[in-house]
Amino acid sequence: MTEGQWPVVDLALEQGRKTAAHGGTAMVSAMHPVVADAMLDVLRRGGNAMDAVLTAVPLQGVVEPQMTTLAGGMSVLHYDAARQTYDYIDGELDHTRDDPPVSATWDHYVTVDGALGASSGRRVAVPGAVAGMHLAMERHGSIPWADYFAPAVEVAAAGFPMYSFLYGEAFEAAAGRLSAHPSGRAEFLPDGHVPPVGERLVRPALAETMRRIAVDGPDHVYRGAWASRFVTAVRETGGTVTVRDLDDYAARATRPVRRAYRGHEIVGAPPPSSAGVLIALVLGILENFDLPAMGHYTRDAEALEVLRRAMAFAEFFTERFVKDPLSYDVPVDELLSPDFAASLAALIRGNARRDPVPASSGTVRPPGTPHTNNTDHVVAVDGAGNMASLTHSVYGTTFGTGLVVDGIPVNSGNSFPGTGNGEGRRVLSPFPPTMVARDGAPHLALGSPGLSARATAIVLANHLGYGLGLPESIDAPRFQGAQTDQPFTVEARVDPRVLDTLATRYGADVRLTTPYFWHFGSVHAVEVDADGHRHGYCDPRRPGRAAGW
């Protein structure tokens, strides 16, 4: 390096504003640039949108092991442009049969999951990612099964440089989960420490396992040698996964949730994911308010209170009524009816306290532990207009429980909310693969990890409700803790006078977090404009790259 010259840093691997991508043929968006480039290469070689997002799943398990794993779960929303049809593939986790879910609600999950112990095998659920990939390929893929694994095998075998986001997550987990099991230490703590930023990480065991999955298909994971070793390893660490659990697992193809909103149609994840109902219900409530006339919620306390209460109602009703439809009749139509949304909007209007009550200013405090799940999201649109929006996750904590089986980290989702009743054993997730349609065809595909459904709902409220551009909507401040018995944590880019009024007039327990808090999501989006041009965007809160041509 010559004097005064600094090494080149790939800003896509860092937090901060990302460059939007524009093109006329195809577009992708992902958190890691290697993943985005691999997805785009699939499209360049003639693959379709589903091929692109399925290629991302194993590759993200290589370069983003803190968030994803082939022993986790996935779901994907797909639009077939030729048939003008939507399809939702659910490859999420099942609760183990011999240990029914221990969390009744999301609030209960926070308590129970911590009580189990971070490295407990009891937290490990039945994985669905590989089965979900295979069903999605059968229904909408156009390239051979092995091709989805080729880029991941290559990167795992050759290695990739440690980057700051992965280093920070591994450093945090090293004192607990990653040190708890010899397999986790061997995979992620060579020589007893987290490899420094810039050091090449090689994952030969994972490369070999993926070669086997590429040849043998899902059988290797659900009935083959890996399945046997997985069951043994999980049960040795306190888990209850059985060979029968794996053999019984089946991915599902189902219809997404759909609801009209201000000349658009919101298409989202159906139960047992709560996301489609939550996003549609939030927007349905907001449809009863003139948001632009109220002023943006970063500058108007009443507007922020309306958004807070709309989110609180949506969280309340989805948590209580969205369950696995194989075991329950979920009242989706009732939850998404315009009359129900209007009644909740009327309650918001009638219950808001208009007169200030005595309270001191400056009551903001640092946030408490965020309620999140560690996840990734990718989106793609191809030259034919097919779209795919895919979420996949290790669930719960980064790196799952820290246990690794043949290079693959296990999930930590068995303590997610759910039911032990009937045949429906899916965990209840907030996975938010979402599309927005106009005149019958989607023009926007998006989704997010972190706040997941809530982040997606806030972005759409900004974009469709306030009329902001998509980049501004993704950038806009987010919040969590909408229900009145929870602290209300908000990114510190809201006018302090608004937050003070929220606390004094509306009684909110306001707490500040950083201006761009990475736990508050990482929205990835692709958009098709009226002229057919493709645009790709990603969130400033985490790494990300949008790419197209």
Side-chain half-sphere exposure of 60, counting CA atoms within 13 A: 35
Pairwise pLDDT comparison (351 vs 142), residue with the higher score: 142
Give domain limits for the chain. 28-253+384-416
Please tell me the least confidently modeled range out of 273-277, 327-331, 351-355.
351-355
Cα–chain-centroid distance for residue 458? 14
| Torsion from C-alpha of 235, 430, 450, 398, nearest 10 degrees | 0
- Burial pattern 496-525, b for ≥16 Cβ within 10 A else e, equals eebbbbbbbbbebbbbbbeebbbbbbbbbb
Q: Is the pLDDT of residue 155 over 70?
A: yes
Distance between CA atoms of 515 and 310, rounded to whole angstroms?
A: 23
pLDDT in tens, 31-74: 999 999 999 999 999 999 999 999 999 999 999 999 999 999 99
State mean pLDDT over 515-532.
Answer: 95
SS3 405: strand
Q: Measure the CA angle with vertex 448, ends 63 and 23; round to 5°.
A: 80
Q: Of the given ranges (239-253, 258-272, 384-398, 420-434), which has the lowest mean pLDDT?
A: 420-434
CA distance 174 to 168: 10
Least confident of 138-147, 293-302, 361-370, 421-430: 361-370
- In this prediction, residue 411 has a pLDDT band, given cuts at 50, 70 and 90, of very high
What is the band of 358 on the pLDDT scale with cuts at 50, 70, 90? very low
pLDDT tier, 113 (very low <50, low <70, confident <90, very high otherwise): low
Q: Which positions ≥6 away from 5 have C-beta within 8 Å?
A: none
DSSP symbol at 144:
-
pLDDT at 114: 67
Q: What's residue 422's pLDDT?
A: 79
Report which DSSP code applies to 461.
I
Confidence of residue 250 (pLDDT cuts 50, 70, 90): very high
Q: How many CB atoms lie within 10 A of CB 104?
A: 13
Distances (CA, A) of 515 to 107, 300, 471, 489, 520: 25, 18, 16, 11, 11
pLDDT band at 4 (very low <50, low <70, confident <90, very high): very low
Give residue-wise pLDDT tens across range 431-441.
999 999 998 89
Give the per-residue pLDDT at 360.
30
Report residue 233: phi and psi, to 5°: -65, -40
Q: In what order do the strands lie in the sheet with 524-528?
A: 21-23, 534-538, 524-528, 441-447, 434-438, 264-268, 257-261
Residues 6+ apart with CB under 8 A from 115: none
Percent of the chain's residues with pLDDT above 90:
83
The partner residues of 486 in beta bridges, in order of sequence, read: none
How does pLDDT run across 492-516, given as a tens digit for each residue?
A: 999 999 999 999 999 999 999 999 9
| Alpha carbon 342 to its chain's center | 29
Confidence class for position 1, pLDDT limits 50, 70, 90: very low
Alpha-carbon distance of 549 to 538, in angstroms, equals 16
For 284-309, how does the pLDDT look when each residue is reduced to its tens digit (9 = 90+)? 999 999 999 999 999 999 999 999 99
Task: Kindly tell me the sign of the dihedral angle through the C-alpha atoms of 302, 303, 308, 311.
Answer: positive
For residue 30, what pLDDT band results from cuts at 50, 70 and 90?
Answer: very high
The model's confidence at residue 413, banded by pLDDT at 50, 70 and 90, is: very high
pLDDT computed for residue 110 by the predictor: 67
Q: What pTM was computed for the model?
A: 0.94
**Dihedral of the CA atoms 251, 166, 397, 524 (nearest 10)?**
-50
Over the stretch 446-490, which tens digit does the pLDDT of each residue have? 999 989 999 999 999 999 999 999 999 999 999 998 876 789 999
Cα-based angle 319, 320, 323 (whole degrees, multiple of 5): 80
Tokens linked to 494: 């809201």
Predicted local confidence at residue 103, as pLDDT: 76
* pLDDT at 357 > cutoff 50: no
